[in-house]
Chains A and B, each alone.
Chain A
Amino acid sequence: SYELTQPLSVSVALGQTARITCGGNNIGSKNVHWYQQKPGQAPLVVIYRDSNRPSGIPERFSGSNSGNTATLTISRAQAGDESDYYCQVWDSTTWVFGGGTKLTVL
């Protein structure tokens, strides 16, 4: 079965750029989606199909996908960005989520 690997945690200074990676075998050939989840809340899609932002998601959120790594980039990080982030792909007939990354804004 297909596996997605994310770092357990990423830290970023307030106002700086955070990058969260999602590794998978030839993930560049798949569409990657990213979710933000705050404690006690349902997930929220922040990037779909590699690099598309839903309405209401700030331009500070961007995504890229190539080779074996997809990346979620959060520019000018704010305290409110502190959350868990999950990548997701469709593999064959199933959805696969990465293990999640806790973003800490210092």
Chain B
Amino acid sequence: EVQLVESGGGLVQPGGSLRLSCEASGFTFSSYAMNWVRQAPGKGLEWVSYITGSSSTISYANSVKGRFTISRDNAKNSLYLQMNSLRDEDTAVYYCARDEVEVAGQSYYYGMDVWGQGTTVTVSS
């Protein structure tokens, strides 16, 4: 079964740090780009960060640039989000989501077609 499972959320004080993890199973993780997407309580979806399968390309939303770092370990089928200097407005459910697949040098996109269940980050004093 194709699956993504996030972990690492919790309550943290403003200015603190947290590291989220996303463990993939059921597919060739290294062939897929991945994203972190968040959703503040009662709000819409906000894209956070993107990383290609080889980690050669990484991008961030302006709201987190310089504070968050995305990374992956293909040997462990895992995606990470290191979050530093956390602010109240970072409070959200954080989802990891599968992106485009690269096969024989060609990329194919079917939407963010697999999502985890989300992990909740609460930034509060």
Contact = CB atoms under 8 A, between A and B. Distances in A.
A49 B109 contact: yes
A88 B62 CA distance: 17
Contacts of B62: 1
A54 B110 contact: yes
A94 interface: yes
A31 interface: yes
Interface string B34-49: 0101000000111100
A97 B47 contact: yes
B13 interface: no
B114 to A, nearest CB: 9
Contacts of A45: 110-113
A73 to B, nearest CB: 17
B2 to A, nearest CB: 13
Given A43-B45, A95-B50, A54 B113 contact: yes
Interface stretch (B18-26, B68-76, B77-85, B115-123): B115-123
A35 B112 contact: yes
A23 B72 CA distance: 34
A97 B111 contact: no
Given A94-B59, A94-B61, A100 B45 contact: yes
Which 9 A-B residue pairs are closest in the complex by CB-CB distance?
Answer: A45-B111, A48-B111, A42-B115, A95-B47, A100-B44, A93-B59, A97-B45, A33-B111, A99-B44
